[in-house]
Amino acid sequence: MTESIPNIFPNDTPVDLQAAFRDSNVQEVLDKLDRELIGLKPVKTRIRETASLLLVDRVRRSLDLQASSPSLHMSFTGNPGTGKTTVAMRIAEILHRLGYVRKGHLVAVTRDDLVGQYIGHTAPKTKEVLKKAMGGVLFIDEAYYLYRPENERDYGQETIEILLQIMENQRDDLVVVLAGYKDRMEQFFHSNPGMSSRIAHHIDFPDYSIDELVKIAKLMLEQQQYEFSEEAEKVFADYLKLRMSQPHFANARSVRNALDRARLRQANRLFARQGASLTKKDLITLQADDFLSSRVFATQKP
């Protein structure tokens, strides 16, 4: 009978979790996430909880307390433009700082990066992506497109089988994040129970409110040294109300596209003022007309 090896640390060994947290520099990443993304309180709370769990796990290991390697594979569900890729990047940094991945980089791919178009093409293609992602996080956007049961000659199932093997056997060196629309991801997991069983963390990304989208717009403009006029900010909020009711609205992504078009209209407006003197204020300020010219408003006219 094998004798158990006594733990060299007594039960009253002092543990300073706050010091361990400071030493990990994880707070720096969490602060960066707060600066980068407006709102998303439920998502940020889950990330902080996960970081706390992993920190406690690391401290336990330092005291020779047994702890099985946690499964860190994740599912991100939500509409486009809700910050899923950005959160995945920060998770990669957190995992690296806590010692759960070697490099802490993110490799973001879609079906086209993984699935081949003919026999013998898919396996090397998938394995090449996995090789690049090892030591970090592999982010697969619209992951449900890997599974196309209606097409018997589709090679996505081969990619899924390779992923399942890697996710199980090399989970200490690679974290996989599957992302996409919530309803389609639920169908994907229902059709692929092996994949579902390997996902430990399911995080849902809510749509942004109009107020949050306006704040996101102001942050984007600030980063490019632009700003709204007072009236333009009100008009942009009206624009969002209309745009959100239309097809293919993509949250922060649609905000960025709207601002790019507004900057284009601003440039044309300024050039039209031939001979007129301009100021720095003119160059950095988006006016109400830069948004009112949008087709979104035009469709509301009788």
Give the pLDDT confidence of 191-237 residue by residue, as tens digits. Answer: 999 999 999 999 999 999 999 999 999 999 999 999 999 999 999 99
Last residue of a domain, one of 205, 231, 263: 205
69 band by pLDDT with thresholds 50, 70 and 90: confident
> Are 201 and 249 members of one domain?
no
Ramachandran class of 234: left when φ > 0, alpha when ψ lies in -120 to 50, beta otherwise: alpha
Q: Could you tell me what percent of the chain has a pLDDT over 90?
A: 75
- Indicate whether 115 and 167 sit together in one domain: yes
Residues 215 and 184 both lie in one domain? no
Question: How far, in whole angstroms, is CA 283 from its chain's centroid?
Answer: 33
Residues 116 and 149 in one domain: yes
Last residue of some domain: 148, 183, 205?
Answer: 205
Average pLDDT, rounded, for the chain: 91
Q: What is the pLDDT of residue 59?
A: 86
Instruction: List b or e across 236-267, with b for residues whose CB sees 16 or more CB atoms inside 10 angstroms.
Output: bbbbbeebeeeeebebbebbeebbeebeebbe
Q: Say if residue 131's pLDDT is above 80.
A: yes
Q: Which residue has the tokens 């093409």?
A: 121
Q: Assess whether 57 and 166 both reside in one domain.
A: yes
Same domain, 147 and 233: no
Mean pLDDT of 91-104: 93
Q: What is the pTM of this model?
A: 0.87
Span 244-269, average pLDDT: 96
Report, as an integer, the average pLDDT of 113-130: 92
Instruction: Using alpha carbons, select from 227, 215, 214 the residue that is nearest to residue 281.
Output: 227
Report the percentage of the chain scoring pLDDT > 70: 94
Which distant-in-sequence residues (6+ apart) come within 8 Å of 22 by Cβ? none
Q: Does residue 213 contact residue 241 with C-beta atoms inside 8 Å?
A: no
- 84 and 160 together in one domain: yes
The mean-pLDDT minimum among 148-157, 243-252, 278-287 falls in 148-157
Give yes or no: residues 118 and 43 share one domain: yes
From the number of C-beta atoms within 10 Å of its C-beta (0-12, 13-18, 19+), residue 102 rates as middle
**Rounded CA Rg of the chain:** 24
Q: Is the pLDDT of residue 301 over 70?
A: no
Domain carrying residue 76: 17-205
Asked whether residue 6 carries a pLDDT value surpassing 60, the answer given is no
Question: Is 237 found in the same domain as 180?
Answer: no
The verdict on residue 162 lying in a domain is: yes
Please tell me the total count of domains within the chain. 2
Pairing between strand 106-109 and 137-141? Answer: parallel
Q: For residue 201, what pLDDT is reported?
A: 93
- The answer to whether residues 204 and 75 touch, using CB atoms and an 8 Å cutoff, is no
- The pLDDT value recorded for residue 286 is 98
Does 119 lie in the same domain as 139? yes
Asked whether residue 178 falls in the same domain as residue 229, the answer is no
For residue 289, is it within any domain? yes
Last-in-domain residue among 155, 178, 205: 205
